[in-house]
Amino acid sequence: MSMDLDDAPVPLGAATQQTAATILCCNCGAPIDGTTATGALCFNCVKLTVDISQGIQREATLNFCRDCDRWLLPPTSWIVAMPESRELLALCLKKLRGLHKVRIVDASFVWTEPHSRRIKVKLTIQDAVQDGVLLQQSFEVVYVVATQQCPECAKSYTANVWRACVQVRQKVLHKRTFLFLEQLMMKHNAHRETLNIKEAKDGIDFFFSQKNQAEKFIDFLNSVVPVTVKASQELISQDVHTSKKSYKFSYSAEIVPICRDDLVAMPIKLAKQSGNISPLVLCHKIGTSVYLMDPQTLQTADIASPIYWRAPFRSLADAHELVEFIIMDIEPTNTRRGKWVLSEATVARASDLGVNDKTYFTRTHLGNLLQPGDSAMGYLLTGTMFNNAEYEAIEESNTYSSTIPDVVLVKKYYPRRRKNRRRNWKLRRMDKDEGELLPKKADQDRMDREYEQFLRDVEEDEELRAAMALYKNEKRAEEEMSVAETEEDEDDGVPQVNMDELLDDFDELTMHDS
C-alpha cells in the first residue's frame, strides 16, 4: 500500500518554524524583508539614491566689517568671532536654510587659504527616511566672505553723526592733568569707542555714537579724577506718527582746577572740617579726590569731589611759579609719614647766589631726598602778593597768620639734566583732531615744555609711573649706550626708569614717540 507525500506525518516542533517573506530589491536584486520594508529598495540602495541633504544650502554669504573685525548676524546684529571659533561656526550654521529639518551630528571647519575669502564647513547630518532606516550623510558648505561696513564704522567716517559728546574741561593755564589723563585712557583703552577726539579750549571733546558709550566713559572719568558732570540734550528729529524722537546728548565734565604740586589756600572752615589741618597746604596727588598735605607737619587730608564743588576754591600758585632754591643746611626730625621725612632746612634762591646773602628757614617733607648743596623747586611766599581771598583770610587770622612759612619746597631739582636727554622708554599718545585751534609757535613751544616736564615727573615719581604703561624704546637704548662714555657724568643722580617696568608690545599705529 503506497502513501502520498502530503499525508506524511509532520515532525514534532516543525509547526512552530516559519520562513520569513522576502522580496527582491528592484534596483540590485538583493533579498530584503518584505514584511517590514515600505519600499522596494534595500538599505544600500537607499543610501545611494536618497539625499537627505536636499533642500539645505551648499553655498552662503557671510558679511564681514574690515574696520572693526565683526561679522553680521542677521538681521542687524554684529558680533566678534575669531577665525575657526565656536562663535563663527554657530554663525555659519544659522545662515543655512533647511538645516532645522535634520539632526546635526558633527560640524567642523575645513582648511582654506586665508586670502581666498572662502570658509568651508563639513557637516554630518542624520534623518529617518523609512521605518527603521536612519541615514547619515556628510557634505561641505562653502561660505563666501563679503565685506560690508557696519553702521558704527560708517558713522565714524561721516561728519556730524555723533549722538553723545563728553566735553572734558579744566580751567587752568596748562595741560598737565590732561597729559596724565591721556595715559590712563591709553592704559585702560577707555577711548576705543570714540568716533572722534577733538582739542578744545581748556580741554578735549570726545564724541560717541551711542549714549551708553558716553555714560561708560563718564564712569571712567569718575574713577580716576575728581569731576562734576552736567548733562543736556537736544532734539534732532521727531516722528509724529510713531512718537519716536532722536536726541543728541552732551555731557560737560569739569575737572577740579587743582593739580599736582600746586600750592593751595583752603577755606579756613573747610580746613577745620578736614581734621583741623593748616589751610595753607600742598597738593601731592590727584585721584578720585584732591589729596593735600601740610609740609610743615606732614598732616594730610583728602577733599572728595562733592565736598569740593560745594564750596570750590582755586590754587594759590601752580608749577609755572616754582623757583629754584639751593639747600644750604638741612636737619631731619623724628617725624615721619610714609616716604616723607620732616626736616628743617635753610635755603637760598639760586638767583641770589653771588648777589646777596639772603637765606630762608623752612620746614620740608623732602628730608629723605635733600642734602646740603642740592637744588629744590619751591614757592617763595615772602614778598609775594597773591590775589586770593582765602590767602587773605589766612593772613588776617590770628591762629594761622603766624604759621605761614617763607618758602614751601615742592620737589628735588636736577639742574644737570640734559635738555634733549635720550630715554630708553616712551609713551603712547592719542590721535586728536586739533580742529580750528591750530597751535601757534609760542603755544607749541609751551606745550613741548609741559610735556617734557611731565616726562621728568614720570621718571622721578614711582607712584605716578605705576598708574601708566611705559614701553621700551630699543633704538634710544642703543644710542644711549653708544654715547655713555662721552656723557658719563653729565646726568649724575638723575632718576632712571628700570627696564623691568617697561612693556614690549608697542606696535599700534596711533602711537608717537615721547
CA distance 206 to 251: 10
Name the residue among 198, 150, 153, 193 with its Cα closest to residue 178.
198
Name the residue among 170, 276, 174, 163 with its Cα closest to residue 228.
170
φ/ψ of 289, rounded to 5, equals -130, 175
Estimate to the nearest angstrom the gap between the alpha carbon of 390 and the chain centroid: 39
Contacts of residue 42, defined as CB under 8 A and 6 or more positions apart, other chains included, come to: 25, 27, 28, 30, 32
Q: b or e along 455-486 (b: 16 or more beta carbons within 10 Å of the residue's beta carbon)?
A: bbbbbbbeebbeebbbbbbeebbeeeeeeeee
Contacts of residue 11, defined as CB under 8 A and 6 or more positions apart, other chains included, come to: none
Residue 299 has a pLDDT of: 93
Contacts of residue 223, defined as CB under 8 A and 6 or more positions apart, other chains included, come to: 288
CA distance 275 to 285: 18
CA torsion, ordered 270, 275, 277, 279, to nearest 10 deg: 0
Contacts of residue 486, defined as CB under 8 A and 6 or more positions apart, other chains included, come to: none
With beta carbons less than 8 A apart as the criterion, state whether 382 and 362 touch.
no
With beta carbons less than 8 A apart as the criterion, state whether 56 and 97 touch.
yes
Burial of 183 (0-12, 13-18, 19+ CB in 10 A): buried
The grid coordinates listed for 508 are 599700534
**3 state DSSP class of 185:** helix
Name the residue among 219, 338, 230 with its Cα closest to residue 288.
219
CB atoms near residue 250 (< 10 Å): 17
Q: Where are the domains of the chain?
A: 23-52, 53-151, 161-255+420-477, 262-412
**Is the dihedral angle over the CA atoms 102, 103, 105, 109 positive or is it negative?**
positive
CA distance 353 to 472: 41
- Amino acid (one-letter) located at 367: G
φ/ψ of 151, rounded to 5, equals -60, -35
Task: Tell me the whole-structure pTM to 2 decimals.
Answer: 0.67
Angle between helices 176-188 and 441-460 (to 10 degrees): 60
Burial of 450 (0-12, 13-18, 19+ CB in 10 A): middle
Residue 104 has a pLDDT of: 86
With beta carbons less than 8 A apart as the criterion, state whether 268 and 258 touch.
no
Instruction: Output the furthest CA–CA distance in the chain (Å, rounded).
Output: 164
- Amino acid (one-letter) located at 364: T
| Per-residue confidence in pLDDT tens, the chain, 514 aa | 444 544 545 554 444 455 667 777 776 767 776 655 556 667 667 776 677 777 788 889 999 998 888 999 988 889 999 988 999 999 998 888 888 788 888 999 999 988 889 999 998 988 877 666 777 888 899 999 999 988 878 776 766 578 899 999 998 888 888 889 989 998 888 888 888 888 888 889 999 988 999 999 999 999 999 999 999 998 888 888 888 888 899 999 999 999 999 999 999 999 999 999 999 999 998 888 999 999 999 999 999 999 999 989 999 998 889 999 999 999 999 999 988 999 999 999 998 888 888 999 999 999 998 999 999 999 999 888 888 899 999 999 888 888 899 999 999 998 766 665 677 888 888 877 765 555 566 677 888 888 888 888 888 888 888 888 888 876 655 555 544 444 444 555 677 777 777 777 544 434 344 4
**DSSP state string for 323-345:** EEEEEEEEEEEEEEETTEEEEEE
With beta carbons less than 8 A apart as the criterion, state whether 375 and 330 touch.
no
**3 state DSSP class of 286:** strand
Residue 509 has a pLDDT of: 37
The grid coordinates listed for 28 are 540590485
**3 state DSSP class of 80:** coil
Residue 282 has a pLDDT of: 94
| Residue with the three cell numbers 620746614 | 363
With beta carbons less than 8 A apart as the criterion, state whether 290 and 256 touch.
yes
φ/ψ of 419, rounded to 5, equals -70, -45
CA distance 62 to 79: 12
